[in-house]
């Protein structure tokens, strides 16, 4: 069992065996002694440590891998021993180990804008000035579109930051000798400020500001959301009266899940991603912190997956209740009414324990094929199988009764059924067929469950020419009669206890129809003639005056 020591090289954490640590420490001390007369020793050592970190990263398969003594030996072979760059070494030996495969970088030390041309010139082995002339020619040849390629290279190609990067850009080995020379060259040249670096620096500052703003918005928004989720979770917990109400409610019973478990699952599925966004915003505000603890993330993600899978499976199970639909007719009646008008009204329904009420009721009106009123009540429900759907439909309670004295049909204002699966659809359809020249008057609650266009409610419906139409009701001016407008073309209707009177008038003429206990009288006139028709106990009399 070997002891391990954690060290930081170029800001990167490494785990070293004890022997490897002491060998690397000894090596770095030897290097420092060898370059003690060099200017900017600390900068040279920083570059060498950065190169060592780069080589160690290449040998690591994971950040947790421990660096052993063999790895340090391999790094020393690449960099070379300090005595390798003493004066007594042969020049041809230095040159032999100097050239390696070039890498493409942007050369910011010789840049005019972003160092793209200078870096590409190093890569292809061309003079920088000639490469810039080629760029200018391409700019004119491509009518300016070369600028897009330049910006693309600016974004993709990394700039040579360290001495090792600059050496690889030139095709030189990043060993001790070359690193020392490169640092000395950089110190002599002293990087100049150029347009590209100014743009990058400004962009970086703006980007950092935007990151801070986004982080603040994330922390604020997700923080408020987390507080809201906690309040909601506590509201559904046993410490709240809401818990007792919901336990008696239908949600838990219909889903067959305790209300506490429902609230916990929903809270966790929503809260975990929100907390992650909160931590991300915190990290953006304070980059040096590490709010993402690995162990907690693994536990949280595992619980989130379990909650999500459970809710998904339960949702699929609930949705499966919609596989089949059953429609059953529970009431079908027909009757001849002595009165012309049938009244429809609703009766309030009382809530009963273990029962659910719903207002999914729809009234439909159709012309009757004979002189009778027809009533048909259809109950519709869903289930996993047709048998289950039929059972759900039969459970629906929807009361109907007729008041023969007032010629009124009274329905339940709500349908009622035993508490069960609320997700399965249940509804009632009421079909009423109206004979010709008969009327159906809807109360306002019934009107709300009727879908008729261009109809004012409360409404009066009638069967005209085998079509259900809505008579728009205006005002009662006599106490025993009502004036109505059948359409927007000037046809008026007066309905009273004595009979019906219809008047119509337009530019071409007028018509007057009266139906009462004495018979039927029809008068019509246009620009050229008048016609009168009387139908009573004496027969039919027609008069035509031109």
91 pLDDT band, cuts 50/70/90, is very low
End-to-end CA distance of the chain: 128
> What local confidence, expressed as pLDDT, does residue 384 receive?
73
> What local confidence, expressed as pLDDT, does residue 96 receive?
42
State the average pLDDT over residues 39-43: 69
Residues 6 or more apart whose Cβ sits within 8 Å of residue 419? 250, 253, 254, 354, 355, 356
- Minimum mean pLDDT range among 114-128, 294-308, 466-480: 466-480
Residues 6 or more apart whose Cβ sits within 8 Å of residue 179? 44, 47, 48, 51, 163, 164, 167
Give the H or E element holding residue 140: helix 128-141
- Between residues 431 and 51, which one has the greater pLDDT? 431
Is residue 415 predicted with pLDDT exceeding 50? yes
The residue ranges of DSSP E strands in 348-490, in sequence order, are 355-358, 361-367, 373-383, 400-403, 408-412, 415-418, 426-434, 439-442, 460-463, 468-475, 481-485
- Minimum mean pLDDT range among 205-214, 321-330, 338-347, 436-445: 321-330
Model pLDDT for residues 345-379, shown as the tens digit of each residue:
998 888 787 788 888 899 999 999 988 999 999 99
What are the φ/ψ torsions at residue 388 (nearest 5 degrees)?
-65, -40
Question: Within 10 A of 257 (CB to CB), how many other CB atoms are there?
Answer: 16
How is 21-39 classified by DSSP, letter by letter?
A: HHHHHHHHHHHHHHTTTSS
Is residue 79 predicted with pLDDT exceeding 70? yes
Quote the mean pLDDT of the chain: 77
State the average pLDDT over residues 532-544: 84
Percent of the chain scored above 90 by pLDDT? 7
- Across the chain, how many H-helices and E-strands are there? 16, 22
Residue 297 vs residues 64, 303, 311, 462: alpha-carbon distances, Å = 18, 10, 21, 69
- Between residues 218 and 164, which one has the greater pLDDT? 218
119 pLDDT band, cuts 50/70/90, is confident
Of residues 477, 470, 507, 519, the one with CA closest to residue 494: 477
pTM over 0.85: no
182 pLDDT band, cuts 50/70/90, is low
Residues 6 or more apart whose Cβ sits within 8 Å of residue 59? 67, 71, 74
Q: Which sign, positive or negative, has the C-alpha torsion 189, 190, 193, 199?
A: positive
Rg (alpha carbons) of the chain, rounded to whole number? 46
What are the φ/ψ torsions at residue 111 (nearest 5 degrees)?
-85, 145
> What local confidence, expressed as pLDDT, does residue 432 receive?
92
The position carrying tokens 């620009």 is 527
Question: Within 10 A of 323 (CB to CB), how many other CB atoms are there?
Answer: 13
Q: Secondary structure of 208-275 in the HEC alphabet?
A: HHHHHHHHHHHHHHHHHHHHHHHHHHHHCCCCCHHHHHHHHCHHHHHHCCCHHHHHHHHHHHHHHHHH
Give the H or E element holding residue 311: helix 294-319
């Amino acid at each position: 069992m070997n002891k391990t020591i954690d060290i930081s090289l170029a800001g990167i954490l490494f785990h070293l065996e004890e022997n490897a640590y002491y060998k690397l420490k000894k090596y770095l001390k030897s290097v420092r002694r060898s370059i003690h007369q060099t200017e900017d020793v600390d900068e040279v050592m920083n570059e060498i440590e950065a190169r060592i970190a780069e080589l160690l990263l290449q040998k690591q398969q994971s950040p947790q891998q421990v660096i052993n003594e063999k790895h340090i030996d391999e790094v020393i072979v690449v960099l070379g021993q300090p005595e390798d760059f003493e004066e007594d070494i042969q020049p041809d030996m230095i040159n032999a180990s100097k050239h390696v495969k070039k890498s493409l970088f942007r050369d910011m030390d010789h840049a005019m804008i972003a160092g793209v041309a200078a870096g590409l010139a190093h890569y292809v082995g061309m003079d920088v000035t000639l490469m810039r002339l080629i760029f200018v020619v391409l700019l004119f040849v491509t009518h300016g579109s070369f600028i897009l390629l330049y910006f693309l290279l600016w974004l993709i190609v990394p700039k040579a930051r360290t001495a090792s990067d600059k050496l690889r850009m030139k095709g030189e080995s990043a060993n001790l000798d070359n690193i020392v020379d490169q640092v000395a060259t950089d110190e002599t040249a002293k990087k100049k400020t150029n347009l590209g670096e100014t743009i990058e620096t400004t962009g970086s500052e703006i980007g950092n500001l935007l990151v801070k703003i986004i982080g603040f918005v994330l922390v604020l928004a997700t923080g408020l959301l987390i507080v809201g989720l906690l309040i909601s979770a506590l509201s559904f917990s046993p410490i709240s009266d809401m818990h007792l109400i919901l336990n008696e409610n239908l949600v838990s019973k219909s889903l067959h899940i305790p209300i506490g478990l429902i609230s916990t699952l929903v809270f966790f599925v929503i809260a975990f991603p929100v907390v992650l966004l909160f931590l991300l915003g915190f990290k953006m505000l304070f980059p040096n912190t590490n709010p993402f603890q690995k162990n907690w993330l693994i536990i949280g993600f595992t619980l989130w997956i379990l909650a999500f899978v459970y809710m998904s499976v339960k949702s699929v199970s609930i949705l499966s209740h919609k596989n089949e639909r059953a429609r059953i007719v529970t009431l079908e009646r027909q009757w001849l009414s002595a009165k012309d008008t049938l009244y429809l009204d609703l009766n309030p329904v009382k809530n009963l324990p273990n029962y659910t009420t719903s207002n999914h009721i729809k009234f439909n009106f159709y012309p009757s094929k004979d002189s009778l009123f027809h009533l048909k009540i259809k109950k519709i429900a869903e289930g996993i199988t047709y048998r289950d759907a039929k059972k759900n439909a039969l459970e629906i309670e929807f009361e109907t009764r007729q008041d023969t004295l007032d010629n009124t049909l009274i329905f339940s204002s709500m349908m009622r059924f035993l508490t069960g699966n609320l997700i399965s659809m249940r509804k009632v359809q009421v079909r009423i067929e109206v004979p010709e020249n008969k009327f159906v008057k809807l109360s306002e609650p019934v009107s709300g469950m009727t879908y008729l266009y261009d109809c004012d409610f409360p409404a009066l419906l009638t069967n005209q020419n085998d079509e259900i139409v809505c008579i728009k009701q205006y005002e009662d001016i006599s106490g025993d009669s009502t004036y109505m407008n059948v359409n927007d073309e000037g046809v008026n209707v007066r309905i009273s206890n004595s009979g019906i009177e219809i008047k119509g008038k337009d530019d071409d003429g007028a018509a007057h129809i009266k139906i009462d206990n004495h018979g039927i009288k029809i008068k019509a006139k246009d620009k050229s003639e008048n016609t009168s028709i009387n139908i009573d106990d004496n027969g039919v009399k027609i008069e035509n005056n031109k």
